[in-house]
Amino acid sequence: MELADLIQRELKDPRVGFVTVTEVRMSPDLKHARVYVSVFEGGEEGKQESVAALQRAEGFLRRSLGRRLRLRYVPHLRFVVDDTLDHSARIEELLEESSSDSGDSTSGSGDSEVSSDE
């Protein structure tokens, strides 16, 4: 929570863009943290640029976290793009295509009427 707040409010680098921290995984010894971020603008190149800018700001972020949380040791931060939202959007797209394809193929069946003019 603190890291996300620092990125949104304190980090002034325009290359970071609109970034959301989605998950943080700590190493067992708590000396390393893998920070997963979603970047909502700029395509693939923009995502990599934002992650690179965050990585360059690691020292500032670690110092600020140390002050805020009063930690003896602040973990090294490694930023990674979280593609979960992209994957879920692609799955949603495929499901919509599948449902529209199946809807088209079933609409023609069962429409013929049987005349009972006996």
The domain ranges of the chain are 2-90
pTM for the model: 0.73
Nearest-angstrom CA–CA distance, 80 and 51: 7
CATH number of 2-90: 3.30.300.20
Q: Who contacts 12 (Cβ-Cβ below 8 Å, separation ≥6)?
A: none
Average pLDDT across the chain, whole number = 84
How much is the pLDDT for 104? 57
Burial of 80 (0-12, 13-18, 19+ CB in 10 A): middle
Q: What is the pLDDT of residues 59-112, one digit of tens each?
A: 999 999 999 998 889 999 999 998 877 777 778 888 888 888 776 554 444 444
Amino acid at 15: R
Nearest-angstrom CA–CA distance, 57 and 38: 17
DSSP label at residue 73: S
